[in-house]
Chains A and B, each alone.
Chain A
Amino acid sequence: MSVDIIQLLVGGILLGGIYGLAAFGLSISFGVLNILNLAHGEFLMLGSLVSYSAFVLLGINPFVSAVLVIPLFVVFGVGFYLLLLKPVSDKPPHQLLVASILVTLGISLAIEDLTAFFWERPVTGIAYSLPAIELGHVVISSLRLSILLFICVLAVLLQAYLKRTFVGRAIRAITQSREGAKIVGVPIAHISGFTFGLGVALAASAGVFYVTLFTVTPVIGIPLTVKYLCVVVLGGLGSLVGSVVGGLILGLSEVLTAYYFGAEWSPCIAFVLLISILIIRPSGLFGIEG
């Protein structure tokens, strides 16, 4: 029994790490651009498909492709921003919301539908494994452990980047006060494009890990975006630590729900969590403005 629980906790922590990584991408791009990117989950899906293709066609190790997709998707995200979001972000505020939701949701539907159309085998998973580690009676796959380690390294690097470099400081400054950042001379348009690219790359990188552990179908994008929203509301906007904690809470509750109530109920838990937070603590666990 306790062995099961430990296995579950490890699985939940891992899932939570993946959620936290991707949700942080959503969180910074929302904080800087003031546009909630409803296509964020699609980038995780695309990252998964790219790494799956790289693994099947070229035999590239998923850990290598997790690093390789980052520059690729930064470029992709900057292009996405310039083409679709920059024209929207110039609009007056009351049109900005409607226009940004229409554009990002429309793109998300188009990506989902096109991927489903061109991808012959919708359900994919990478057959990549490493020998398992046995500690007493607890079997922990070393693949999962190394992914967890990799996510931790990525999070530490990201935190250092946000705290130490000019761009990282600019990102945090814009999230805290857009006008203030503008006054002290932060180039908002440039930083916005790069931040969006970074957010997309984080989602894609999380997608590489996602595909090594779970099956990926073209329709996972929008439900995943709802889960990221739950994580962002749990953890607060623009805080990496908050996103990771929120991700862990969601990952653990999903795994525990699947264990105690059956796997078919675990898709509900993100929404139930979201509603319960809104009733109990409307400002979020770490205090954000609704």
Chain B
Amino acid sequence: MNRNGRRLSALIALAVAGVVLALLPRVAGSYALVWISLLCVYLTLAASYDIVGGYMGYMNLGHSTFFGLGAYGTAILLNHGQPLAVAAAGGMVFTAGFAALVSYPLFRLRGAYFALATFGMISLMKVLSNNLRDLTGGSGGISTPPGDHTIGAYYLSVLIAFATLIVSYRVSRSRFGLALFSIREDEEVARAFGTPTNLYKSLALVISSIPASLIGGTYVWSVTYISPPAVFGLEIALSPIVMAMLGGTGTLLGPLLGAVFLTSCQELLWTKLPYLHLTIYGMIMVLVGLFLPGGLVRTAWFRPELDRLGLGEKISYPDLS
């Protein structure tokens, strides 16, 4: 199949998926809609994590900070009587500004130091959201105006997840994305060849923070209540990263595959097993780290298929000038 034929079939597949997802609320019950919304939350977080964690190779373990900040920002603005669009935009601007601010000190670290420092950022946010009671409601959490937003949240989540995948694809096929790959492979060489590494690293962090904050805003609008452990807890922090790792970082389909696989597992297992969720996540992380550091997409079953679809790592750059 030639290049245009592949592109056409990919577009047809996307259109079919779009129509099915758009018509789903007419036939499916609210259980399925809530499940797909949750899947889209995880997918958005995993795919936006991958821009920094996969493309650039900086393990940002604190990615859920952006989710939580977006959720808190949106909730506070909603409680001040703002409409959802204004509230979510406000949360997004706040989160992106925060990401731009912390990127300066954090990117002075590398490797494991960076991973641990970003991980520490989550606990800082948890302490702040517990202590600033006037603003965040403290450990009691914060409620937003009630209402049944299941269908609205479903469409918004699907839209944001889809937009995140598009952004991720566009980034990976751009000059900017190429710079991020080169930072991952060798930062000194990239800088020596004239890549503005500091600027691009901050920019990548800001870009990855935007989808996370938007999906956080959608999430709080639909569940109408959040508390510090719900948005700054370990499970929401680590499950998107585990999904991206399990699927395969640095590829478009890795986070998608990991998110679908792990969210389905959660749905089947978690209801039967009320404890030890973190143990299972931990064991998956250990097994992936020991035996599957490239993720599922780099195994022998998936790799040829992805390369055939033009979504693998063999990227042909059509026009970068």
Tell me whether A233 is interfacial, beta carbon within 8 Å: yes
Which residues of chain A are near B127, meaning CB under 8 Å? 264-265, 267-268
Which residues of chain A are near B290, meaning CB under 8 Å? 84, 87-88, 99, 103
Chain A 35-47 interface 0/1 with B at a Cβ cutoff of 8 Å (1 = within)? 1101000000000
Which residues of chain A are near B288, meaning CB under 8 Å? 102
Chain B 262-284 interface 0/1 with A at a Cβ cutoff of 8 Å (1 = within)? 00000000000001111101111
Tell me whether B151 is interfacial, beta carbon within 8 Å: no
Contact status A103-B123, CB under 8 Å: no
Which residues of chain B are near A223, meaning CB under 8 Å? 120, 123
> Once bound together, how far apart are the Cα atoms of A225 and B115, in whole Å?
12
In the assembled complex, how far is the CB of residue B318 from the closest CB belonging to chain A, in whole angstroms? 27
Among B102, B276, B285, contact of A117 (Cβ-Cβ < 8 Å):
B276
Contact status B276-A114, CB under 8 Å: yes
Contact status A98-B293, CB under 8 Å: yes
> Once bound together, how far apart are the Cα atoms of A100 and B234, in whole Å?
19
Contact status B289-A271, CB under 8 Å: no
B124 nearest CB neighbor, chain A only = A271
Contact status B111-A97, CB under 8 Å: yes
Contact status A106-B108, CB under 8 Å: no
Tell me whether A101 is interfacial, beta carbon within 8 Å: yes
Chain B 31-64 interface 0/1 with A at a Cβ cutoff of 8 Å (1 = within)? 0000000000000000000000000010101000
Contact status B124-A102, CB under 8 Å: no
Instruction: With A98-B293, A100-B112, A268-B128 as known contacts, state yes or no: A222 contacts B282, CB within 8 Å.
Output: no
> Once bound together, how far apart are the Cα atoms of A108 and B102, in whole Å?
26
Which residues of chain B are near A108, meaning CB under 8 Å? 282
Among A95, A113, A222, A265, contact of B131 (Cβ-Cβ < 8 Å):
A265
For B116, B119, B130, the residue with the greatest tally of chain A CB atoms inside 10 Å of its CB is B116
Contact status B115-A101, CB under 8 Å: yes
> Once bound together, how far apart are the Cα atoms of A162 and B219, in whole Å?
53
> Considering the complex, which residues of chain A in the window 109-137 have a beta carbon less than 8 Å from any beta carbon of chain B?
109-114, 117
Tell me whether B302 is interfacial, beta carbon within 8 Å: no
Contact status B289-A102, CB under 8 Å: yes
> Once bound together, how far apart are the Cα atoms of A100 and B115, in whole Å?
11
Contact status A113-B279, CB under 8 Å: yes
> Considering the complex, which residues of chain A in the window 77-100 have a beta carbon less than 8 Å from any beta carbon of chain B?
84, 87-88, 91, 94-95, 97-100
In the assembled complex, how far is the CB of residue B235 from the closest CB belonging to chain A, in whole angstroms? 10
In the assembled complex, how far is the CB of residue B103 from the closest CB belonging to chain A, in whole angstroms? 12
> Once bound together, how far apart are the Cα atoms of A263 and B277, in whole Å?
31
Which residues of chain A are near B111, meaning CB under 8 Å? 36, 97
A112 nearest CB neighbor, chain B only = B278
In the assembled complex, how far is the CB of residue B293 from the closest CB belonging to chain A, in whole angstroms? 5
Contact status B104-A279, CB under 8 Å: yes
Tell me whether B109 is interfacial, beta carbon within 8 Å: yes
> Once bound together, how far apart are the Cα atoms of A100 and B119, in whole Å?
15
A276 nearest CB neighbor, chain B only = B105
Tell me whether A282 is interfacial, beta carbon within 8 Å: yes
Contact status A101-B278, CB under 8 Å: no
Contact status A95-B293, CB under 8 Å: yes
Among A36, A91, A110, A222, contact of B279 (Cβ-Cβ < 8 Å):
A110
B54 nearest CB neighbor, chain A only = A98
> Once bound together, how far apart are the Cα atoms of A36 and B252, in whole Å?
29
Among B113, B285, B289, contact of A233 (Cβ-Cβ < 8 Å):
B113
Contact status A105-B285, CB under 8 Å: yes
For B57, B108, B128, the residue with the greatest tally of chain A CB atoms inside 10 Å of its CB is B108
Contact status A103-B108, CB under 8 Å: no
Contact status A106-B128, CB under 8 Å: no
Contact status B283-A110, CB under 8 Å: yes
> Once bound together, how far apart are the Cα atoms of A277 and B88, in whole Å?
34
A38 nearest CB neighbor, chain B only = B116
> Considering the complex, which residues of chain B in the window 107-166 have a beta carbon less than 8 Å from any beta carbon of chain A?
108-113, 115-117, 119-121, 123-124, 127-128, 130-131
Contact status A98-B59, CB under 8 Å: yes
In the assembled complex, how far is the CB of residue B159 from the closest CB belonging to chain A, in whole angstroms? 31
> Once bound together, how far apart are the Cα atoms of A87 and B105, in whole Å?
33
Tell me whether B183 is interfacial, beta carbon within 8 Å: no
> Once bound together, how far apart are the Cα atoms of A36 and B115, in whole Å?
10
Contact status A110-B278, CB under 8 Å: yes
> Once bound together, how far apart are the Cα atoms of A267 and B112, in whole Å?
21
Instruction: With A95-B293, A264-B127 as known contacts, state yes or no: A109 contacts B234, CB within 8 Å.
Output: yes
> Considering the complex, which residues of chain B in the window 224-251 have a beta carbon less than 8 Å from any beta carbon of chain A?
234, 238, 245, 249
Which residues of chain B are near A275, meaning CB under 8 Å? 102, 105
Which residues of chain B are near A35, meaning CB under 8 Å? 112
**15 A-B pairs (CB sep. < 8 Å):** A101-B61, A101-B289, A102-B286, A105-B285, A106-B285, A106-B286, A106-B289, A112-B278, A229-B116, A229-B120, A265-B127, A271-B123, A278-B108, A282-B108, A290-B110
Closest CB pairs A-B (n = 3): A106-B285, A102-B289, A36-B112
**Residues on A close to B: CB < 8 A?**
30, 35-36, 38, 84, 87-88, 91, 94-95, 97-103, 105-114, 117, 222-223, 225-226, 229, 233, 264-265, 267-268, 270-272, 274-275, 278-279, 282, 290
**Residues on B close to A: CB < 8 A?**
57, 59, 61, 102, 104-106, 108-113, 115-117, 119-121, 123-124, 127-128, 130-131, 184-185, 234, 238, 245, 249, 275-279, 281-286, 288-290, 293-294
